[in-house]
């Protein structure tokens, strides 16, 4: 695969000077247009050590307006990053629409290094590469232009480059002990790199392999390729038809489904409730502290109709957990900042560290529920979201995060009673809005979407727990006892 990058391409000074002036002006113009475009740009600069990655990035920053570019040189994960899935450090650095981010090495570098060192088997490497492909495909679908450069050197050229750097007192710091070790294993590194490039070069995010032995040829090739990718995406954006106006869709649930077959008459007496809630909260207090010892984290997701009792159930949980160890994230309509990023960005950024708990009051399931039903998401967007959500939750559980998802179900009659109670009680009136009444008129569509969601996203690692919530006391106790049972299974009794 890398043979074409070892043929000895060079570029003379005069040609470089003439061509670079044209490319530089065109890049600046494309960047100006990007500022108002509905997509972002992520540039990944990877390749062998000594191939000039930092020189290429410095060139791009000099030729373009650096104020519109964020540069991320990610080496070993920080303590904060080690407490979350590997992709988290990249998610939180994704640029908003209209801007560019440049990553040194990006999400592929660790896989190569760990495989060569024997810390990652080939099956494990392939699994990691599949995750990379999923990530890049999702970014592409969410209006991110990915431009990936692989800077290649032959073994002879790499030796020459590293020796030259070591001989220069001002540059020798660039050559690390790790670089020398990787050079000694050049053939193995090359083999793993070819495997990585082959497996992760897709139609959505192809690798651009650049021969890096000649500085001028390398620099101009990278700049021209970036310009071509930018121009193509800008032209597509200009010619794209306007996004359709949101139109609610009408769905009809099956006559018998997982929600309408729940026994909503289940209830607890006041005495039973007080006893079981107190016991459950005491158990949860102990189990939540054990998350620190086990170096695990916990994510709780609450979904369900308006007035189903999500907030009340969450408050009974937080009463039992040390306030320093949890966060409640109330999800509403996305902000302008959130809309400028890929859909899952606003959920990734709130993931808990080890020993901690994040509670989502509504969640990423909004895309396949409210956004689907109200027409805010196109069919292609909410259809692919099922797979994207499953992949997201798989990454969480593979890392060791315990994920529990609750659907609180109420009958239309009980919801109406609670709506009316809110309107009549002064301190509860803030809880009821015209949108709640409008959503109620679309009960059938929301029930059908919920059934689809539960069926397609309830997995062994992250199952849905369906909670009969007409009786608030029953619902609260069932939630806390379910959490305690799952924590015991995950942490050991």
Query: Tens digits of per-residue pLDDT, 222-240?
Result: 999 999 999 999 999 999 9
Q: Beta-strand (E) ranges in 172-325?
A: 207-211, 298-303
Residue 355: count of CB within 10 angstroms of its CB: 18
CA–CA separation, 121 and 320 (whole Å): 42
The pLDDT tens digits of the residues spanning 76-91 come to: 889 999 999 999 999 9
> What pLDDT band is residue 493 in, cutting at 50, 70 and 90?
low
CA–CA separation, 207 and 289 (whole Å): 46
User: Is 90 exceeded by the pLDDT of residue 111?
Assistant: no
User: Is 80 exceeded by the pLDDT of residue 118?
Assistant: yes
User: Is 80 exceeded by the pLDDT of residue 176?
Assistant: no
CA–CA separation, 140 and 146 (whole Å): 7
The pLDDT tens digits of the residues spanning 120-163 come to: 888 998 998 999 999 999 999 999 999 999 999 998 988 888 88
Give the DSSP H/E element, type plus range, for residue 486: helix 472-491
% of the chain exceeding 90 in pLDDT: 81
CA–CA separation, 385 and 405 (whole Å): 17
User: Is 80 exceeded by the pLDDT of residue 110?
Assistant: no
> What pLDDT band is residue 48 in, cutting at 50, 70 and 90?
confident
User: Is 90 exceeded by the pLDDT of residue 369?
Assistant: yes
Q: List the Cα angle 377/455/444 in 5-degree steps.
A: 60
Q: Which residue has the higher pLDDT, 49 or 377?
A: 377
Look at residues 470, 429, 186 and name the one whose alpha carbon lies nearest to residue 309.
470
pLDDT of residue 107: 81
Residue 167: count of CB within 10 angstroms of its CB: 10
Q: What is the dihedral of CA 74, 75, 76, 77, to 10 degrees?
A: -10
The pLDDT tens digits of the residues spanning 186-234 come to: 888 889 899 999 999 999 999 999 999 999 999 999 999 999 999 999 9
Task: Give the end-to-end CA distance of the chain in Å, rounded to a whole number.
Answer: 52
Q: For 355, left (φ over 0), alpha (ψ -120 to 50), or beta? A: left
CA–CA separation, 173 and 153 (whole Å): 20
> What pLDDT band is residue 113 in, cutting at 50, 70 and 90?
confident
> What pLDDT band is residue 492 in, cutting at 50, 70 and 90?
confident
pLDDT of residue 447: 98
Q: Which two tokens stand for residue 37?
A: 């475009």
Please compute the mean of the pLDDT values over residues 452-465 and round it to a whole number.
96
CA–CA separation, 475 and 313 (whole Å): 7
pLDDT of residue 268: 97
Please compute the mean of the pLDDT values over residues 413-440 and round it to a whole number.
91
Contact between residue 325 and residue 355 where contact means Cβ atoms under 8 Å apart: yes
CA–CA separation, 256 and 384 (whole Å): 26
pLDDT of residue 120: 84
User: Is 90 exceeded by the pLDDT of residue 112?
Assistant: no
Place of tokens 């990006």: 106
Please compute the mean of the pLDDT values over residues 291-307 and round it to a whole number.
97
pLDDT of residue 322: 96
pLDDT of residue 279: 98
Contact between residue 443 and residue 412 where contact means Cβ atoms under 8 Å apart: yes
Which residues are registered as beta bridge partners of 329? 360
Q: Report the chain's mean pLDDT, rounded to a whole number.
A: 94
In order of 20, 47, 63, 283, 475, the CA distances from 85 in angstroms are 41, 24, 35, 28, 31
For 151, phi then psi, to 5°, come to -90, 120
Question: Helix, strand or coil for residue 125?
Answer: helix
Contact between residue 50 and residue 153 where contact means Cβ atoms under 8 Å apart: yes
CA–CA separation, 358 and 281 (whole Å): 17
User: Is 70 exceeded by the pLDDT of residue 28?
Assistant: yes
CA–CA separation, 338 and 347 (whole Å): 10
> What pLDDT band is residue 181 in, cutting at 50, 70 and 90?
confident
């Amino acid at each position: 695969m890398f043979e074409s990058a070892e043929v000895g391409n060079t570029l003379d000074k005069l040609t470089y000077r003439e061509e670079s002036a044209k490319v530089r002006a065109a890049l600046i113009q494309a960047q100006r247009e990007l500022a108002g475009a509905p997509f972002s740009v992520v540039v990944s600069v990877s390749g062998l050590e000594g191939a000039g990655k930092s020189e290429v990035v410095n060139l791009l920053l000099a030729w373009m307006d650096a104020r519109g570019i964020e540069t991320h040189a990610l080496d070993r994960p920080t303590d904060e990053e080690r407490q979350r899935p590997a992709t988290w450090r990249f998610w939180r650095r994704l640029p908003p629409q209209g801007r560019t981010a440049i990553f040194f090495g990006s999400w592929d570098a660790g896989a190569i290094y760990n495989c060569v060192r024997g810390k990652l088997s080939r099956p494990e490497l392939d699994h990691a590469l599949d995750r990379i492909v999923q990530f890049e495909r999702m970014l592409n679908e969410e209006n991110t232009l990915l431009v990936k450069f692989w800077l290649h050197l032959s073994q002879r050229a790499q030796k020459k480059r590293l020796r030259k750097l070591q001989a220069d007192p001002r540059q020798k710091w660039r050559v690390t002990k790790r670089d020398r070790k990787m050079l000694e294993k050049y053939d193995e590194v090359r083999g793993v790199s070819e495997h990585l490039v082959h497996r992760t070069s897709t139609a959505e995010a192809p690798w651009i392999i650049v021969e890096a032995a000649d500085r001028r040829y390398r620099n101009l090739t990278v700049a021209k390729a970036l310009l071509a990718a930018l121009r193509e995406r800008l032209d597509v954006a200009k010619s794209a038809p306007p996004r359709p106006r949101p139109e609610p869709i009408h769905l009809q649930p099956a006559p018998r489904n997982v929600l309408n077959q729940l026994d909503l008459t289940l209830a607890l007496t006041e005495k039973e409730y007080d006893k079981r809630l107190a016991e459950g909260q005491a158990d949860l207090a102990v189990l939540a502290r054990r998350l620190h010892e086990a170096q695990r984290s916990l994510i709780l997701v609450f979904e369900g109709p308006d007035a189903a009792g999500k907030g009340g159930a969450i408050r009974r949980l937080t009463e039992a957990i040390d306030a320093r160890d949890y966060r409640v994230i109330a999800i509403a309509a996305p902000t302008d900042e959130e809309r400028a990023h890929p859909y899952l960005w606003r959920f990734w950024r709130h993931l808990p560290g080890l020993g901690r708990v994040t509670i989502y009051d509504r969640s990423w399931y909004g895309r396949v529920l409210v956004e689907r039903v109200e027409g805010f998401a196109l069919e292609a967007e909410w259809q692919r979201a099922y797979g994207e959500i499953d992949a997201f939750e798989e990454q969480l559980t593979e890392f060791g995060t315990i994920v529990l998802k609750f659907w609180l179900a109420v009958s239309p009659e009980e919801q109406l009673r609670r709506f009316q109670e809110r309107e009549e009680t002064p301190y509860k009136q803030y809880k009821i809005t015209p949108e709640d009444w409008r959503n109620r008129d679309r009960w059938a569509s929301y029930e059908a979407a919920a059934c689809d969601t539960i069926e397609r996203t309830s997995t062994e690692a992250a199952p849905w727990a369906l909670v009969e919530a007409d009786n608030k006391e029953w619902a609260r106790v069932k939630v806390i006892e379910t959490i305690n049972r799952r924590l015991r299974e995950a942490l050991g009794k």
